[in-house]
Every structure is written in C-alpha cells, then in structure tokens.
Amino acid sequence: MIIRLLSAALAAGFFAAAVVTGLELTLTSPLIVAAERYEQQEPSHQAAKALPIVLAHAGHDHAAPDAAPEWQPGPGLPRMAFTGLATLVGGVGYALLLGAVMIACGREPTPQVGLAFAVAGFASVALAPGLGLPPELPGSAAAPLAARQAWWVMTAAATGMGLYLITIRRALITILGGLVLIITPHVVGAPQAPEAASELPAALAAQFAARSLAISFVFWILIGLGLGWAWQAFSRDTQRGTARA
C-alpha cells in the first residue's frame, strides 16, 4: 500500500504541478515582478523603509534595512525553473498528505473521494489561513514571521480537525466542537502588521491575493482528482499482474 500511495502521489503531484506552474507564471509571477520593480523605483527617502525582496508568495520575514539581501533566482528561466520545482515538491507533499488522511479516515482514494478531501485540504491550508493572512507580495507590511507561522499552523490544524469532526464523525457534539475549532483561530485573530502602511498599491496586493487563492484552489482540486485516478489506475495494474501470475 505504501508503494502504491507513493506512486499515486508522485503522479498526482506531477500532474498538478505541470498545470499550476503555468498558471503561476502567467497570473502571479508578473505581479511579483511588478512589486519588485515598484520597490526599486521608490524615492531614496523611502528606500530605508523598504522591506527585502523575497520570492515566496507569503510567509516572508522582514529583516533590518541594512541586512544583506536574501538570495533569489535570477530573472527569466532560473526563476521559472525554481517556481516549477517548488510547485512540484509542494504538489507531491500535499498529495502524500491527502492520501494518508483518506486512508486514515477509512476512505479508499477515488476521484470523487479525492475531490471532496481536496476541497477540505484547500479550506484548511489556504482559505482559512488566508482570511487572516492573505498571500503577500514582496514589500508588503507584515507581522513578525514566527507569529505568522504559529497562527498559520494553528488555523490549518484547527480547520482540518474541525472539518473532520463535522463531516466524518457527524454527531451533534462533534459538529459543535468542529465549529468551535474552525472559528477559534479567527476569534483570536491573526498577527497584525506594523502601523506603517505598505508602499505597494492596495489594488496590486488584492489582485495577487485573489489570484493566489484561486490558483491554490485549482492546485488542490487537481491533486485530489489526480490522486484518486492514479490510485485506481495502479490498483487495476496490480490486479492484472496478479491475474497473469
């Protein structure tokens, strides 16, 4: 079963990464480049406040103004290659996690089951955390990295467990407990950015957040469908091999 899960996760991860990398390069990478150019064109009196440029869509830290700039791949092909590699690694990892959760819940991976669990995965990992910490462009004002990471982990775990209690356990007490878990991180509140406003245009940041969440939704849907299809395909191949033997 482990070999089958690994094979299905690899197939689903490659499939999702191939599609989503194209979407990222088309829809979000130009916005990142625009944000970087906007930072570089800031007046000198604002440059001291500028935050270091990073490649990641979210979760980047803000170092001191005199800190050495972080390494990043060069423009063009290197950036495209690293974007594709990061998407591939994330796709395979999420597919493994999704398959393990399905099996642990006693559900055999199929396209239909994979789709349902993929929606739950998107809600837990992207949508719920994104309500408090939307995907950020380089140069966006943000709270300290450690605080954001802690809130993200808490929100993702609480949302995932809450959805499990609501959709799998389906008892009144578990449904109420699941709702409490889902709501609690948002009642606590996400870490807030410093008072100083970001120099980036609000419309650019909003467009990036919306596109990033939309791409994440497509990413999870493709992973769920691909994992279910690959699991069934490898199962048929195994059964044929056993019958011939």
Per-residue pLDDT averaged across 109-134, rounded? 96
Per-residue pLDDT averaged across 171-183, rounded? 97
For 55-104, the three-class secondary structure string (H helix, E strand, C coil) is: CCCCCCCCCCCCCCCCCCCCCCHHHHHHHHHHHHHHHHHHHHHHHHHHHH
pLDDT value of position 198 = 65
Asked if pLDDT for residue 69 goes beyond 60, the answer is: no
Given a contact cutoff of 8 angstroms between Cβ atoms, the answer to whether 167 and 102 are in contact is: no
Instruction: Tell me the C-alpha distance between 165 and 184, whole Å.
Output: 15
Asked if pLDDT for residue 117 goes beyond 70, the answer is: yes
pLDDT value of position 217 = 98
Given a contact cutoff of 8 angstroms between Cβ atoms, the answer to whether 125 and 182 are in contact is: no
Question: In this predicted model, what pLDDT tens digit does every residue of 9-60 receive, in sequence order?
Answer: 999 999 999 999 999 999 999 999 888 887 666 544 343 333 333 333 433 4
- pLDDT above 70 coverage of the chain, percent: 79
Instruction: Tell me the range of 23-37, 53-67, 104-118, 128-142 where mean pLDDT is highest.
Output: 104-118
Which candidate, 131, 134, 148, places its Cα nearest to that of 206? 134
Asked if pLDDT for residue 92 goes beyond 70, the answer is: yes
pTM of the entire predicted model = 0.82
Instruction: Tell me the C-alpha distance between 164 and 177, whole Å.
Output: 10
Given a contact cutoff of 8 angstroms between Cβ atoms, the answer to whether 44 and 126 are in contact is: no
231 compared with 69, residue with greater pLDDT: 231
pLDDT value of position 79 = 82
- pLDDT above 90 coverage of the chain, percent: 63
Asked if pLDDT for residue 145 goes beyond 80, the answer is: yes
Q: Domain segments of the chain: what residues?
A: 2-59+71-142+193-244
Instruction: Tell me the C-alpha distance between 42 and 6, whole Å.
Output: 48
